[in-house]
Amino acid sequence: MKPKIVFRLALIFGWMIFFTAGFAQSSTKQINEAIKNIKSNLNKNPAQSKADLLQLVTKNPSAPDTCKANIYMDVAIAFGMLNQLDSGLWAINQALTYETDKDFNRINTLRTKAILHRLKGEYAQATDAIKACLQLNDSIWKNQPFKAIALQEYASLCNDQNNFYQATKLYLQALDVVNSTNNNDKKNLFIALKIQINLGEAYGRSGNYGFAIRTLQKTLPQLDSLKDYDGYIRAGYQLAEYLIQTNQCTSADSLVNILLPLAREIKNEELESYLILKLGLSRSQQLKYQKSLPYYRQSFGLMKKNQSFFILEVAIPYLTALKNTNGYPEARQVMKSEVVQSVLKTANNDDLLNYKKVAIHFLYNELSPAQLHAYYQEIQRLSDTVKIEGQKQLALELQAKYQFEQQEKNEKLLLKENEILRESEGYKRKQIYLILIIATFLITTIVLIYLRVRQRSRIQARELDVQKIENKVQKQQTEWALQEKQYRDQLLEQQKTLLIQTLADSEELKLKINQIVAEQQQERRQELMEQFEKAVEDRTGLDKLLIQFNNIHPGFASELLQNYPKLTQTDMQFCILYRMNLSTKEISALLLVEPRSIYTKKYRIMEKMGLGKEDDFDQIIFNKGR
């Protein structure tokens, strides 16, 4: 089975567990506890678990049949998840004995039965179960979303058996069912996109790469808008595979490089290994085998780490690249891998044949003539088997391809007819629009002429009114000019008087200002003298402090200067005051500087001493001259 099928089955099992959990009801708490105990022992002792389950149902005869069916159903899913398929089918058949066609749970039970048969490779039984499920839904329940999911599973069964024509028909039918329901429902949209991914895979596996590429290219933006990154990556690596098959390797590489970070973000190593495999296949398609090897190694390592059942999908192209680059020792390691040898035991004829064809190049010198003969006979047998199976499918695939081409032609004809119809309707609309435009133009012209004549008569009447107003305004302007001359003469007289008064006031103000300036200068001189006398006193105090310090610590200054000869006399004074543990304010008063300059002076002294920020200035100063 392809990895897409396994992922889909895992998703279905998860959904089934959730679905049955919603319907499961127990008559008592004891039943629930008993089921938990049975589940915990499923993997250890399946036979005992079956007996315990039968005993549980027998001991609770009053429990409803629906409850008993749900118990068996729940345990069957657990058996299936543990890969104990026979036990799972036993539990499913037990559940069916308690369900009738009127129970909706019967549909889910039949679906689960189909899944378990499919996992066992019993496709005939799986097909019968899914057909019964569809028939029951059509006759009684008519649940459209459920029908779409069941049709999708039926199509996947056909895909497993390489019946791509039937699979394609069922996928298209499932899409029609989904599209006939509420398209605004996000759940229906999600189901439709999953079906489109599977449809693209069916197109690709049947060799219709054009249909596959178009289907997946249409699906990817919708998955991205829903933020379904898991589905987005799965659809993307399928699209990359078909792009490689059609020699569009550059486009495939670009797509894979977009998908790889997403796969790593969701921490899905199996998806990551498939994407890396596509990068290797892209280079092999271009016969760049040496460049493809790093990708094959990385992909093979991830699949080997996860014990992937699909490791042959990497191993076969990996060995082909090694064959073309003479990598015989590495090829032998790949072939001897336990995972590869385990998968070969259950591989289908196609994969087994492809593996043996490439493996013979590395085994040729190791096999005896008899072994080589048997090996070639096995290859011939597998080739005949694959050829017969291929011939059975060839007619159906050709028929499918013809039907697809006819469908495409019909769609093109329908589009062309719709286009002609739209053009005809557009021509009619243009005629109507033209008539409306001409009528509008004529009406507008008449209205404009009428408005123009009316406006002209109004303008003439306004001109007469304006002439009267102008005469009146001219008379008023003459009167205002005389009044303005009289007012100007009075204003000049007032300004002259005010100017004389202002000059007298300014002389008096000048005398007062000179007197104030003289007084301030005298006060400034007195203040400067006081500051000078204080500075002399501070300087005398500083000298006394330095003498007293040198008497107490006679070796401090000489030792400090000897170790740091770049220090000046002022720097030494600062270091002594700092050693005396004076405050910043006291040091600034003694050195006659601003307090904020003390920090700057300290860092400049540290630079002269060659100290960094991580060195302890205090430790150096307080350890000198002890």
Residue 177 in tokens: 């069912």
Q: Name the residue among 170, 132, 116 with its Cα closest to residue 148.
A: 170
- Identify the sign of the CA torsion 201, 202, 203, 205: positive
In a domain, 197, yes or no: no
Q: Report whether 564 contacts 609 (CB < 8 A).
A: yes
Confidence (pLDDT) at 237: 87
In a domain, 465, yes or no: no
Task: Name residue, tokens 């739209």.
Answer: 422
Residue 213 in tokens: 């590429």
Q: Name the residue among 8, 15, 23, 25 with its Cα closest to residue 106.
A: 23
Say yes or no to pLDDT of 84 above 60. yes
Q: Which domain holds residue 613?
A: 553-623
Say yes or no to pLDDT of 246 above 50. yes
In a domain, 138, yes or no: yes
CATH number of domain containing 604: 1.10.10
Confidence (pLDDT) at 306: 87
Please tell me what DSSP assigns to residue 137. Answer: I
CATH number of domain containing 47: 1.25.40.10
* Structural domains counted in the chain: 2
Three-state secondary structure call for residue 266:
coil
Confidence (pLDDT) at 410: 66
- pLDDT tens track for 441-475: 889 889 888 888 888 888 888 888 888 887 887 88
Residue 565 in tokens: 């000869």
Please tell me what DSSP assigns to residue 141. Answer: I
Confidence (pLDDT) at 45: 67
In a domain, 617, yes or no: yes
**Which of 142, 165, 190 is the C-terminal boundary of a domain?**
142
Three-state secondary structure call for residue 610:
coil
Confidence (pLDDT) at 581: 81
Region of 528 on the Ramachandran plot (φ > 0 left; ψ -120 to 50 alpha; else beta): alpha
- Identify the sign of the CA torsion 290, 292, 298, 299: negative
Buried b (16+ CB within 10 A) or exposed e, 346-355: ebeeebbbbb
Q: Report whether 263 contacts 251 (CB < 8 A).
A: no
In a domain, 569, yes or no: yes
Q: Which of 41-45, 213-217, 256-260, 569-573 has the lowest mean pLDDT?
A: 41-45
Round to whole Å and give the CA distance between 65 and 276.
51
pLDDT tier at 56 (50, 70, 90 boundaries)? confident
In a domain, 520, yes or no: no
In a domain, 82, yes or no: yes
Mean pLDDT, the chain, rounded, equals 79
Say yes or no to pLDDT of 501 above 80. no
- pLDDT tens track for 587-612: 887 877 787 788 888 888 888 888 87
- pLDDT tens track for 524-576: 545 544 544 554 455 556 777 777 777 777 778 888 888 888 888 888 888 88
Round to whole Å and give the CA distance between 568 and 589.
19
Round to whole Å and give the CA distance between 196 and 234.
12
**Which of 88, 113, 142 is the C-terminal boundary of a domain?**
142
Q: Name the residue among 203, 202, 182, 275 with its Cα closest to residue 232.
A: 275
Round to whole Å and give the CA distance between 331 and 152.
40
In a domain, 600, yes or no: yes
Report the Cα–Cα distance between both ends of the chain, in Å, rounded. 87
Q: Name the residue among 134, 153, 155, 154 with its Cα closest to residue 144.
A: 134
Q: What share of the chain is helix, strand, coil (3-state, %, to 5)?
A: 85, 0, 15
pLDDT tier at 283 (50, 70, 90 boundaries)? very high
Confidence (pLDDT) at 41: 65
What percentage of the chain reaches a pLDDT higher than 90? 15
Three-state secondary structure call for residue 458:
helix
Say yes or no to pLDDT of 396 above 80. no
- Quick one: average pLDDT of 7-35? 48
**Which of 142, 171, 203 is the C-terminal boundary of a domain?**
142
Q: Report whether 322 contacts 331 (CB < 8 A).
A: yes
Q: Report whether 557 contacts 625 (CB < 8 A).
A: yes
Residue 59 in tokens: 């001991």
Give the contacts of 311 (CB within 8 A, at least 6 positions apart).
Answer: 300, 303, 304, 337, 339, 340, 343
Confidence (pLDDT) at 8: 46
Residue 67 in tokens: 């409850």
Say yes or no to pLDDT of 360 above 90. no
